[in-house]
Amino acid sequence: MFYHPSSKKIKNTNPIIFVHGTGMDHTVWTLPVRHFLRKKKDVLAIDLPGHGNNKDKALSSIPNIADYIFTFLDKNSISNFSIVGHSMGSLIGLEMASKQPERVNALSMIGTAFPMQVNDALLDSAKNNSQIAIDILTFMGYSYSSRIGGNKNPGIWMTESTKRLMQKSGKGVIYKDLKACADFNDGLDKARRVQANVQLILGSNDYLTPKFKAKDLIQAFKNPVVEEIKGSGHSLMMEEPNKVLEYLKKLFKD
Partner 1 sequence: MKKPKDLNLDTLSLHAGSKPDSDFGARATPIYQTSSFIFPDSDTAAGIFNNEMAGHVYSRITNPTNAVLEERISSLEGGIGSISTASGQAALFLAITTILGKNSHIVASKSLYGGSHNLLEYTLPRFGIRTSFVDFRKPKLVKGAIQKNTGLLFGETLGNPGLDVMNIELISNIAHKNKLPLLVDSTFTTPYLMKPFDLGADLVFHSATKFLSGHGVVIGGLLVDSGKFDWSSNGLFKTLNEPYKGFHDMKFVDEFGPSAFINRARKEGARDFGACMSPHTAFLILQGLETLSLRMEKHISNTRQIVDFLSTHEEVKSVSYPELSDHPDYDLAKKILPRGSGAVFTFEIKGGYESGKKFIESLNIFSHLANVGDAKSLVIHPASTTHHRMDKAALRKAGVTENTVRLSVGIEDIDDLKEDLQEALKQANR
Bridge partners of 18?
A: 45, 84
Work out whether 170 is an interface residue with partner 1 (CB under 8 A).
no
Closest separation in Å from C-beta 74 to partner 1:
25
Of these, 145, 185, 204, 219, which contacts partner 1 (CB under 8 A)? 145
Binding mask 41-70 for partner 1 (x = CB under 8 A): -----------x------------------
Closest separation in Å from C-beta 175 to partner 1:
13
Dist CA 85 CA 110 (whole Å): 6
Nearer of residues 162 and 209 to partner 1, judged by Cβ: 162
Of these, 99, 147, 179, 193, which contacts partner 1 (CB under 8 A)? 147
Work out whether 86 is an interface residue with partner 1 (CB under 8 A).
no
Contacts of residue 88, Cβ cutoff 8 Å, sequence gap at least 6: 20, 21, 22, 62, 116, 177, 180, 181
Work out whether 75 is an interface residue with partner 1 (CB under 8 A).
no
Three-class SS of 42-104: CEEEECCCCCCCCCCCCCCCHHHHHHHHHHHHHHCCCCCEEEEEECHHHHHHHHHHHHCHHHE
* Residues 186-245 interacting with partner 1 (rule: CB under 8 A): 241-242, 245
Q: Are 49 and 56 in contact (CB under 8 A)?
A: yes
Contacts of residue 134, Cβ cutoff 8 Å, sequence gap at least 6: 23, 163, 166, 167, 174
Nearer of residues 132 and 226 to partner 1, judged by Cβ: 132
Dist CA 203 CA 38 (whole Å): 27
Residue range at the interface with partner 1 (CB under 8 A); choices 103-111, 119-127, 172-180, 216-224: 119-127
Nearer of residues 157 and 212 to partner 1, judged by Cβ: 157
Closest separation in Å from C-beta 86 to partner 1:
15
Work out whether 4 is an interface residue with partner 1 (CB under 8 A).
yes
Q: Write the Ramachandran bin of 76: left for phi over 0, alpha for psi from -120 to 50, otherwise beta.
A: alpha
Chain positions contacting partner 1, by CB under 8 A: 4-6, 25, 27, 30-35, 38, 52, 121-122, 124-125, 132, 135-136, 139-140, 145, 147-157, 159-161, 164-165, 167-168, 241-242, 245
